[in-house]
Amino acid sequence: MKHRISTVAMAMAVAIGTGGLAQAQDLPGTGKTIHMAQPTWDTEWFQAQVYRKLLQQLGYTVDQPVALDNPAFYQAVAQGDVDFWASSWFPLHNTYLPEIEGKASRVGMMAQGGALQGYLIDKKTAEEHNIKYIEDLKDPELAKLFDIDGDGKADLVACPPGWGCEITITYQMDAYGLNDTVSQIQASYSASMADAISRYEAGQPILFYTWTPNWTVGELKPGEDVIWLQVHEAKLPEDQQDMAPFISVAGVTGCPDDPCVMGWPANDIQVVANDAFLAANPAAAKLLEEVAIPLPAIFEQNARMNAGESRPDDLERHADEWIAANPELVDGWIQAALAAGQG
């Protein structure tokens, strides 16, 4: 098998010319430092490392990402305290757009329409009690099936405070009339889901919120272990109401009906970056515009992480391995970024 020369290697070789070490000065990021963020949920830390490694190929010094909750990130990127992250979910994060208007922008499309969200229960309980809709849990007897702490209410593994999904879940629990029969578990999501998996393995009913890409759908497979709950009608926060026509998603594995009326619109995952940073760094801006990481690669990495490869050096290794395994895709992004940097 022939070894391909990466775009960066070719650019550096051309830059050497008669100038010896001059190639370092010809990379657009030389002498510049990027401060990036990543979310507090770990299912997007691999993607952050891919972006970090690619920007390093352009010559930038890139700090390790700082983990921020949504409100803290949008404030920080608007103020220029961080330059970007690759983990904005739209329309879920529409509520933050007024805060960044004129200060930061959405860039590229890390995963278009690839982020599904919703509520799930174990398949056994769903079939035994004919539960297909989240509104079914208004019935106290059905809700009691998912009671963990003995208060008679269903316990829903939900989102910690500060996550975008927390806002929507809280809104929907009220809008669907579920506050009297359903309680939210808002502790660490990973720990709460680990507990839910243990209860499932012990044969107990479980109720949880999740999203894709996420390791949970690898551990609890929709259609085999769990099913997606549907809604009878859309009930979304005000800043998402124009997305109501898009809560019906075709071809969802593990949904009782097709299309699946999930109650949540499919989300796009995008970069949000500080405007001044984008203007000052056309090569970085072009790279952020170009990169799109395939969902299967994210699912695969999340499974490895959940199996124990979750240390920071593991995440860096996963990113290095994925980049090395996809030279044509990556070199196209780097070439476009280098061309933008020369303009």
**Does 161 lie in the same domain as 210?**
yes
CA distance 296 to 212: 11
**Does 247 lie in the same domain as 151?**
yes
User: Beta partners for 67?
Assistant: 38
Residue 23: predicted pLDDT? 52
Q: Which of 220, 244, 265 is the C-terminal boundary of a domain?
A: 265
- The angle at the Cα of 33, spanning 333 to 290, to the nearest 5 degrees, equals 15
**Does 174 lie in the same domain as 63?**
no
> Which tens digit of pLDDT belongs to each residue from 13-36?
433 332 333 355 589 999 999 999
Picking from 194, 262, 222, the residue whose alpha carbon sits closest to that of residue 122 is: 222
**Does 213 lie in the same domain as 275?**
no
**Does 122 lie in the same domain as 11?**
no
C-beta separation of 184 from 148 below 8 A? no
**Does 161 lie in the same domain as 98?**
no
Residue 20: predicted pLDDT? 30
Residues of the chain with pLDDT under 50: 1-22
C-beta separation of 229 from 122 below 8 A? no
Structure tokens at 123: 């398949």
Structure tokens at 189: 């999501």
Tell me the three state secondary structure of residue 148.
coil
CATH code (residue 216): 3.40.190.100
C-beta separation of 89 from 269 below 8 A? yes
> Which tens digit of pLDDT belongs to each residue from 124-151?
999 999 999 999 999 999 999 999 999 9
Domain around 239: 117-265
For residue 1, being part of any structural domain is answered with no
Alpha helical stretches, state H, the chain: 7-16, 23-26, 45-57, 70-79, 97-100, 123-129, 140-143, 164-175, 189-201, 216-219, 275-280, 282-290, 295-306, 312-325, 327-342
Sign of CA dihedral 254, 260, 265, 271: positive
CA distance 230 to 66: 36
Task: Tell me how many domains the chain contains.
Answer: 2
CA distance 304 to 300: 6
**Does 201 lie in the same domain as 168?**
yes
Residue 9: predicted pLDDT? 46
Residue 284: predicted pLDDT? 98
Residue 41: predicted pLDDT? 85
**Does 337 lie in the same domain as 256?**
no
**Does 331 lie in the same domain as 246?**
no
